Structure 1
Amino acid sequence: MSEPARREIPQSDVRSRIAEARSIVVKIGSSALTDMHDGLDRSRLDALADALEARMRAGTNVTVVSSGAVGAGIAPLGLKKRPTDLATKQAAASVGQLALAHAWGTSFHRYQRTVGQVLLTADDFANRRHHANAQRTLERLVSLGVVPVINENDTVATNEIRFGDNDRLAALVAHSIRADALLLLSDVDGLYDGDPRKVGPNGERAQFIPEVHGPEDLDGVIAGSGGALGTGGMASKLTAARLSADAGVPVLLAAASDAALALQDASVGTVFAARAERLSARRFWVRHAADSSGSLVLDDGAVAAVVNRRRSLLAAGIVDVKGAFYAGDVVELVDLAGAVRGRGVVSYDADEITLMEGRSTADLPPDLRRPVVHADDLVAR
């Protein structure tokens, strides 16, 4: 939502980093591309392609994550609103995905740019081999001068494996291709501490938040769910922005109508500062992308060692094993109160750990004396 008067936002180190990024991922929301009655809005899509082209001509590699497949299929199918059941959503996506890809290809053809469509599901990031294949494809497309346009593969995704929105998908892609910045463009012009469309009983309005440097900047923020055409909403964008920033990629959250300025100098919207140290690909996968296959309940001493001192998890600190999993799977590490304190890749099957739990390393057979979760394969929450 854009305000009538342009908000003056001072430049900062975070905005400069985004403006100067040599590789960016740009996520575009459904509401920026589609209309409930007419489907795809070609004029809005062309305006976005113009802004993206300008950034590419300035020397930046751009990868697009585009929502809108389901929205683009609503009008051709004669639906009155966004479908809620999976089968109809998949049908709308099947029709809309073709229209969306064609529209992006036609728009970029004005600049003699080739577009490559990439459809992904959550399983493609949870599975290390699939993830590596997708990563190689995206990197090769960029090296060939092709603009990758990514969307969730709604036609085959199920409720169990789907991302739920393209904001998280964009954050996962940004880390996967080691992008320098992530831009989330939709119908909101930034982050507020409440709903900017509402006025309080005394005339008070939600306050705009120009920069987020840590959790303390989000105290009191109330984020809502998605609109009629999308599945995201501010809650989804906030989660994706924090995920990306935690992985070491700065984020700009802005209105799609401000795309030209967002892509030119990042002088609009809200920025999220990245953590100083970028997570390795493996640790990022463990923390954010991999599915959890079970959990280990730890005593207080093990929690302190794993969370505070970043030590490997030994069998002596485990008090319970939950779920059926195998060596190499990712499990959650839970404290005695049931709170998740970390995730890690286990070295043994669940049945083996059940026999090992609570025992000191010296009391175990030689072939079971390795850490249950090595420090290199462990991330704390």
Structure 2
Amino acid sequence: MALSKKRIVVKVGTSTLTNENGDINIREMDLLCRALSGMENLGYDLILVSSGAIAVGANKMRLAQKPKELRMKQAAASVGQLELMHLYDKLFGEYNRMVGQILLSNEDVQIPERRENLTNTLEALLENHIIPIVNENDSISHTEIESDQKLFSDNDKLSAIVAVFANASKLVILSDIEGFYDSNPHENPGAKLISRVEEIDDNLMRNAGGSGSNRGTGGMITKLEAAKLATSHGIDVLIVNGQKPELLYDIADKKVVGTLFVGKN
């Protein structure tokens, strides 16, 4: 099936949605919802893959730190997902946009019948101009948190999988830095931004570091893995600064922003 040129999957991570104290960053969420609403108004189909449930839940439960025990992680995810969707519904509503929640587990993607149902649900939401908000079903499925059998690894990988089965033309990963650099910009002030990548090879993978934030689970390596999966299906992948969601308009206008990983035809 051909890729939909006006369908974009946007992934936002915990480090963008929360501040250093673990509180929800309302300003950043509002900017994101406004930009996505504006893009939808321009005729784009938007799918949002959102992290943050465990971090937000842990903060609301007044836990001293992010939980390590599985049952506490699942409890935090249950509380946090409710809080996230409440805010998304409220903020998107300010821009006259409706949202729908989709929580995924391995089986939803791996079992053909459930995968077909998932695809049909996504299409129905998009046809009715409703923005799907996708997350892993952390409160139920332990495999999505810490099992060796987990499919998604984290929401970077999940966003690539969603982009593939939704036939999106672009995957935009919002990061805590401007894009992909030739070395870690947090450690090397002279690191240079790479604006375009044609091939994700072993050398590029070695340049990727670990987790970029203690509030999230992913780092640049998971973003490269997601980009490798999506580009192999012809999908362009962009890593851009999550604090500047208005860059989505520049992406639509084909301007050079962040790092573009070119989809393979």
- TM-score under structure 1 length normalisation: 0.63
Cα distance change on mapping 1:36 and 1:156 into 2, 3 Å? farther
Say which of 13, 16, 22 aligns to 2:6: 22
Aligned to 1:354: none
Aligned to 1:245: 231
Counterparts of residues 135-154 of structure 1 (less than 5 Å): 135-154=119-138
Aligned to 1:230: 216
Query: Aligned partners of 1:120, 1:219: CA distance in 2, in Å?
Result: 30
Instruction: Note if 1:262 corresponds to 2:248.
Output: yes
Aligned to 2:79: 95
Q: How far off its partner does 1:88 sit?
A: 1.4
* Unmatched runs of 5 consecutive residues or more in structure 1: 1-19, 277-381
Query: Aligned partners of 1:249, 1:220: CA distance in 2, in Å?
Result: 19
Q: How far off its partner does 1:39 sit?
A: 2.3
Contact 2:39 2:248 in 1 (8 A): no
Counterparts of residues 85-124 of structure 1 (less than 5 Å): 85-124=69-108
Aligned to 1:324: none
Aligned to 1:84: 68
Say which of 166, 174, 181 aligns to 1:177: 166
Q: Percent identity?
A: 37
Aligned to 2:194: 209
Give CA-to-partner distance per residue, 1:174-214, whole Å, 9 cap, x none: 11111111100021210012211113xxxx73222111101
Query: Aligned partners of 1:182, 1:133: CA distance in 2, in Å?
Result: 22
Contact 2:22 2:215 in 1 (8 A): no
Query: Aligned partners of 1:174, 1:229: CA distance in 2, in Å?
Result: 24
What SS does the aligned partner of 2:120 have? helix
Aligned to 1:196: 185
Contact 1:251 1:272 in 2 (8 A): yes
Contact 2:205 2:221 in 1 (8 A): no
Higher relative contact order (CA 8 A, sep 6+): 2
Q: How far off its partner does 1:59 sit?
A: 1.2
Give CA-to-partner distance per residue, 1:70-98, whole Å, 9 cap, x none: 11112111122222232111111010000
Cα distance change on mapping 1:85 and 1:263 into 2, 3 Å? farther
What SS does the aligned partner of 2:60 have? coil
Cα distance change on mapping 1:72 and 1:129 into 2, 3 Å? same
The one-letter code matched in structure 2 to 1:60 is Y
Aligned to 1:356: none
Counterparts of residues 1-381 of structure 1 (less than 5 Å): 21-158=5-142, 159=147, 160-161=149-150, 163-199=152-188, 205-216=190-201, 218-219=203-204, 221-226=206-211, 227-265=213-251, 266-276=255-265
Query: Aligned partners of 2:209, 2:222: CA distance in 1, in Å?
Result: 8
The one-letter code matched in structure 2 to 1:137 is T
Q: How far off its partner does 1:122 sit?
A: 2.1
Give CA-to-partner distance per residue, 1:118-174, whole Å, 9 cap, x none: 000122112111111111101110011111000011011222335231011110111
The one-letter code matched in structure 1 to 2:218 is G
Q: How far off its partner does 1:216 sit?
A: 5.0
Q: How far off its partner does 1:255 sit?
A: 1.0
Contact 2:196 2:262 in 1 (8 A): yes
Query: Aligned partners of 1:221, 1:208: CA distance in 2, in Å?
Result: 16
What SS does the aligned partner of 1:258 have? coil
Query: Aligned partners of 2:19, 2:141: CA distance in 1, in Å?
Result: 24
Query: Aligned partners of 1:179, 1:138: CA distance in 2, in Å?
Result: 12
The one-letter code matched in structure 1 to 2:24 is L
What SS does the aligned partner of 2:243 have? helix
Contact 2:239 2:260 in 1 (8 A): yes
Give CA-to-partner distance per residue, 1:98-126, whole Å, 9 cap, x none: 00001100001012211100000122112
Query: Aligned partners of 2:131, 2:92: CA distance in 1, in Å?
Result: 9
Contact 1:81 1:228 in 2 (8 A): no
- Higher-Rg structure is 1
Count, aligned residues: 253
Q: How far off its partner does 1:217 sit?
A: 9.0
- TM-score under structure 2 length normalisation: 0.90
The one-letter code matched in structure 2 to 1:84 is K
Contact 1:101 1:117 in 2 (8 A): yes
- Of 258-267 and 106-115, the range deviating more from structure 2: 258-267
Give CA-to-partner distance per residue, 1:56-77, whole Å, 9 cap, x none: 1111110100111111112111
